[in-house]
Structure 1
Amino acid sequence: MTAASDPRTPALPVTFRPTRTRVVLLSVGTVMFAVITAVAVTLERLNPGERVSFVVTALLFFGVLALLSRPKVVADETGVTVVNLTRTRRLDWAEILRVNLRPGDPWVFLDLSDGTSLPALGIQPGIAKEHAIRDARALRALAEERGTSKQS
């Protein structure tokens, strides 16, 4: 069965990311930044240095939440790019032996040909479990299709 005839296999390139989680994190970060900055501006007892420290703290909170919203998995014709919190790793299709999302797993794990396992935080069942399962199945179908065709 080819990728075009398999309904589980999406068209390439495709990006998998926890959209709802990302929206929540960035929304909360924006609201927190606005509230803390408003407090810094409206409190009359604060000197300029204290106001700046409030705004810097708000920026740090927003930065952490933006970092937590970064993960994604991008699949294209030649392979997969896994973007986690602080690291990005590029894999050829042949390197991916299995795509795992077992009950209770916080995110997808990729079993690799070098014997290691790579967490792919871009597919996580946190807020949207069905969406994550659908994405994991789609990535699994792509890995099976692309990985076996390259090895044959």
Structure 2
Amino acid sequence: MTVPAARPALPDPPALPVTFRPNGTRAVLLSVGALMLVVITAMSVTLEKLNAGERVSFIFVALLFFGVLCLLSRPKVVADDTGVTVVNLTRVRRLEWPEILRVNLRVGDPWVFLDLSDGTSLPVLGIQPGIAKQKAVRDARALRALVESRGIGTDAATDAATDTATDAATDSTKDSATDNGPA
């Protein structure tokens, strides 16, 4: 009989309100977008063979690229006393604390997923282990601590999910940079 590994202790919930966002990814996207806007605009002004319409179209395309990169840098999660606001690329969703059953960030996941009381799962692009993996794990654990301290206390669902994740974690090899259980 295998004994499940002890689940990592959750940190104390952070003071509210708190905002989680991938700052490194956001900085890269906005910097590249601004640089691209400047370079394409400068090219359109300095190229002598372009007429006014072509210059305007160059600048329009540069603004379009910048807008897309701004949209990609938009995701965040804002937790306050009454619940959580999840801002993804084009959609904003407000959740009350009791609606969130569990916070998941497994190895290989591109971002956090929230298991909701209506049986659905909501992707949370505001916590993603792209550039800053350790920060994403810390943020996911902090959000999980908030959910567990302010949620409706779905102990049975949380315990069953934790047991499953713990069993999977003991079956796989664990390195120090990853989190094999739910965050």
For the criterion TM > 0.5, the same-fold answer is yes
Give the equivalent residue in structure 1 for 2:31. 27
Deviation at 1:8, TM superposition (A): 3.1
Give the equivalent residue in structure 2 for 1:81. 85
Give yes or no for contact 1:8–1:137 (8 Å, CA) kept in 2: no
d(CA) in 2 for partners of 1:23, 1:59: 18
1:42 matched to 2:42:
no
Identity of aligned residues (%): 78
1:99 matched to 2:103:
yes
Can you list the C-alpha shifts for 1:8-63, whole angstroms capped at 9, x where unaligned? 31100000000000000000000000000000000000000000000000000000
Deviation at 1:7, TM superposition (A): 4.4
> How do 1:2-151 and structure 2 match up within 5 A?
7-148=11-152
Structure 1 spans left out of the alignment, 5+ residues: 1-5
SS at match of 1:103: coil
Give yes or no for contact 1:73–1:82 (8 Å, CA) kept in 2: yes
Give the equivalent residue in structure 2 for 1:3. none
Across the two proteins, how many residue pairs are aligned to each other?
146
Greater C-alpha radius of gyration = 2
Can you list the C-alpha shifts for 1:113-147, whole angstroms capped at 9, x where unaligned? 00000000000000000000000000000000000
Q: What letter corresponds to residue 78 of structure 1 in structure 2?
A: T
Q: What do you get for the CA RMSD once the two structures are aligned?
A: 1.5
d(CA) in 2 for partners of 1:145, 1:112: 16
Structure 2 spans left out of the alignment, 5+ residues: 1-9, 154-183
Tell me the TM-score normalized by structure 1.
0.93
